[in-house]
Amino acid sequence: MEIIWLAILGVLLIGYFALEGFDIGVGMMLPVLSRARERAGEPGPRRRHRDRLVAAMAPFVLANEIWLIAAAGTLFGAFPSLEGTVVNGLYPVVVALLVSWILRDAGLWFRRRLDGAAWGAFWDAILCAASWGLALSWGVALASVVRGLPDRPFDLIGLLYGAVVAAAFAFHGRAFTVWRLSGPSEARGTGRRLRLSAAVAALPVAVPLVLLAPALLDHAAPSATLNVLNLIVLPVTPIMVAAQVWVWRTFGPIRSAGATTAIPSFF
């Protein structure tokens, strides 16, 4: 039974990297991608290009970031003795990760709530910087866990792994915007490339998970606790999968609206 909960934790973490990875990547690449669109001769001010890029990922963010909250809940419920050790052992990294996550989300929720250009540019800068913070914190956290929680997690190896995660997310973010925003003529193969980049984004967490699987199994909660989780969680799983599929079926590529059309988006 422990193996089921290890699998659930693995699926949630890998799913988080494969899905939320592109949101973080788009945030990191926001200045680069918007300038590229400008250079490619797309009309409109740079702010409009940023709006379009954010609007491309907006409907997915809430459904994607929740995978990590679910993974943290699984860690807490099914591997409680590990949760305290890992989160506390990563104290400064977890604080950096949470602050980055909150600021990234604040950038998304707030950027269009006032009309002024300065307001939007300010929150877009926060969105971009916090997305970088998220990717780097993840690299540092994973490198630290694999090495058995060293005292100084922000060392060269940690930061290098952070760079690996950031590169994977940036690649994935770019593939996502191409899939969602390319016109009908260039659309061929973009879905396949998005799935490939999702695999690339998931790799930095999948490898440590495989390495740590035996240690994780040793820390599973007793069967009385896991039975309760089985009873409540497993029957609802099909609904959760269906809800996620519904998101992807609702928000497909934006092809028919021309490049100059603003996409009304809450974010």
Partner 1 sequence: MLDLARLQFAVTGSLHFLFVVLTLGMAPLVAIMQTRHAISGKPVFERMTRFWGQIYVINYALGVFTGLVMEFQFGLSWGGLTHFAGDVFGAPLAIESLVAFFLESTFLGLWIFGWNRLPKRLHLACIWLVTLTAYASAFWIMVANSFLQHPAGSVRRGDHLVLTDFSALLTNPSLLMAFPHVIGAGLFAGSFVIIGASAYQLFRRTPEQEFFRRSLRTGVVWAFVGTNLAVGFGYAQFAFVGDIQPDKFKGALPGAALGNMILIGQLVHTIVMFVLLPLLFRNLLARARWMHPVLMLMTPLPFVAAILGWLTREVGRQPWLVYGRLTVADAMSPGLTKEMVTLSFAAFAGVLGLLALADYLLIARVVRRGPTQVDLGAAEPAEPSPEPALVL
Q: Which of residues 170-199 bind partner 1 (CB under 8 A)?
A: 179, 191, 194
Contacting range for partner 1; rule: CB under 8 A; set: 21-29, 44-52, 81-89, 155-163? 81-89
Give DSSP secondary structure letters for the chain. Answer: -HHHHHHHHHHHHHHHHHHHHHHHHHHHTHHHHHHHHHHTT--S-HHHHHHHHHHHHHHHHHHHHHHHHHHHHHHHHHSHHHHHHHHHHTHHHHHHHHHHHHHHHHHHHHTTSS--HHHHHHHHHHHHHHHHHHHHHHHHHHHHHHTT--S--SSHHHHHHHHHHHHHHHHHHHHHHHHHH--GGG-TTHHHHHHHHHHHHHHHHHHHHHHHHHHHHHTPPPHHHHHHHHHHHHHHHHHHHHHHHHHHHHS----SS-TTSPPP---
CB atoms within 10 A of CB 30: 21
Is position 252 an interface residue for partner 1 (rule: CB under 8 A)? yes
CB of 256 to partner 1, least distance (A): 5
Q: Are 104 and 134 in contact (CB under 8 A)?
A: yes
Task: Provide, rounded to whole angstroms, the least separation between the CB of residue 39 and partner 1.
Answer: 25
Kindly state the number of chain residues that form the binding site for partner 1, as judged by CB under 8 A: 77
Q: Is residue 44 involved in binding partner 1 (CB under 8 A)? A: no
Helical packing angle, 2-28 and 30-39, nearest 10°: 50
CB of residue 227 to partner 1, shortest distance in Å: 8
Taking CB under 8 A as the criterion, the residue among 4, 11, 99, 196 binding partner 1 is: 99
The two three-digit tokens of residue 159, written as one number: 């930061």
Q: Kindly state whether residue 113 participates in binding partner 1, applying the rule CB under 8 A.
A: yes
Identify which of residues 39 and 185 has a Cβ nearer to partner 1 in the complex: 185
Q: Count of alpha carbons within 13 Å of 52, Cβ hemisphere only?
A: 28
Among 1, 3, 32, 98, binds partner 1 (CB under 8 A): 98
The minimum distance between CB 173 and partner 1, in angstroms, equals 16
CB of 236 to partner 1, least distance (A): 5
Query: From residue 54 to residue 73, what is the string marking binding to partner 1 with x (rule CB under 8 A)?
Result: ----xxxxxx-xxx-xx-xx
Q: Contact between 87 and partner 1 (CB under 8 A)? A: yes
Near partner 1 by CB under 8 A, which window of 25-33, 137-145, 164-172, 250-258?
A: 250-258
Residues numbered 190 to 249 that lie near partner 1 (CB under 8 A) are 191, 194, 221-222, 224-225, 228-229, 231-233, 236, 239-240, 243-249
Residue 36 C-beta: closest distance to partner 1, Å: 23
Instruction: Choose between 77 and 208: whose C-beta lies nearer to partner 1.
Output: 77
Nearest to partner 1 of 211, 240 (CB atom): 240
